Amino acid sequence: MARKTECCRLNGLEISLIVLFLLMTAVSVGLITVLALKLDSEKRNSELFTWFNYKKNTALDPPENLYLIGVGRADCTGPVADLPMMGYANTEQTVRGIHTRLFSRAFIVDDGSKRVVFITADIGMVSQRLRLEVLQELKAKYGDLYRQDNVVMSGTHTHAGVGGYFQYTLFMITSKGYIKPSIQAIVSGIVKSIDLAHRNLRPGRIFINKGQLVDSNLNRSPHSYMNNPEEERNRYEFNTDKQIVIMKFTDLDGDGMGLLSWFAVHPVSMNNTNRMVSSDNLGYASYGFEQEKNIGFLPGEGPFVAGFSSSNLGDSSPNILGPVCVNTGEKCDYLNSSCPIGGKKECLAFGPGEDMFESTRMIGENMYKKAKELYSSAKQELHGPVYGAHQWVNMTDETVPLNSTHTGRTCKPALGHSFAAGTTDGGGEFNFMQGDTNGDPFWDGIRDAVLGPPSNETTACHRPKPILFSTGEMNSPLPWHPAIVDVQIITIGSLAIVAELEVKESFANAEVVVAGLCNIYTHYITTYEEYQIQRYEGASTIFGPHTLSAYIQRYRGLAKAIAHGTIKELPKGPEPPFFDEDKLFNQVKDPVADVAPADTVFGDILEQVNPVYKVVNKTFVTVERFHNDTDSWEIVHTDASWETRFHWIKGLAGRSQSKVEWHIPLTAQTGTYRIQHFGHYKQIMDNNTITTPYVGTSDAFKVTKSFYYY
Give the length of the chain: 710
Q: Helix axis angle, 356-377 relative to 280-293, nearest 10°?
A: 50
Cα 283 to the chain's mean position, in Å? 7
CA pair distance 18, 16, nearest whole angstrom: 5
- CA angle, corner 302, sides to 296 and 305, nearest 5? 130
Cα 240 to the chain's mean position, in Å? 21
Give residues with Cβ within 8 angstroms of 524, minimum separation 6. 314, 536, 537, 538, 540, 541, 542
DSSP for 524-564, please give it. Answer: ----HHHHHH--HHHHTBTT-TTHHHHHHHHHHHHHHHHHH
Give residues with Cβ within 8 angstroms of 7, minimum separation 6. none
Q: Is 88 helix (H, G, I), strand (E, B) or coil?
A: coil
Q: What's the burial of 626, exposed, middle or buried (CB within 10 Å: 0-12/13-18/19+)?
A: middle
Q: Which of 239, 323, 229, 244 is nearest to 281 (CA)?
A: 244
Q: Helix axis angle, 180-199 relative to 128-142, nearest 10°?
A: 50
Q: Is 290 helix (H, G, I), strand (E, B) or coil?
A: helix
Q: Is 277 helix (H, G, I), strand (E, B) or coil?
A: strand
Q: Is 375 annotated as a binding residue?
A: no
Q: What's the burial of 608, exposed, middle or buried (CB within 10 Å: 0-12/13-18/19+)?
A: exposed
Contact 368, 458 (CB under 8 A): no
Q: What is the DSSP letter of 425?
A: T
b/e code 146-180 from CB counts within 10 Å (16+ = b): bebbbbbbbbbbbbbbbbbbbbbbbbbebbbbbbe
Q: Is 266 annotated as a binding residue?
A: yes
Residue 695 sits at φ, ψ, to 5 deg, of -130, 130
Could you tell me which residues are beta bridge partners of residue 349? 323
CA pair distance 224, 600, nearest whole angstrom: 58
Q: Which of 576, 542, 493 is nearest to 64 (CA)?
A: 493
* Cα-based torsion angle of the residue sequence 357, 360, 361, 364 in order, rounded to the nearest 10 degrees: -170
Could you tell me which residues are beta bridge partners of residue 316? 219
- CA angle, corner 406, sides to 404 and 410, nearest 5? 125
Q: Write down the catalytic residue from 175, 286, 317, 641.
A: 317
Q: Is the peptide bond before 352 cis (omega within 30 degrees of 0)?
A: yes
Label residue 493 left, alpha or beta by phi (over 0 means left) and psi (-120 to 50 means alpha): left
Label residue 280 left, alpha or beta by phi (over 0 means left) and psi (-120 to 50 means alpha): left
Give residues with Cβ within 8 angstroms of 83, minimum separation 6. 94, 95, 162, 163, 164, 176, 179, 182, 588
- Per the annotation, the verdict on 317 as an active-site residue is yes
Q: Is 524 annotated as a binding residue?
A: yes
Q: Which residues are known catalytic residues?
A: 317
The binding site for Zn(2+) consists of 157, 266, 500, 524
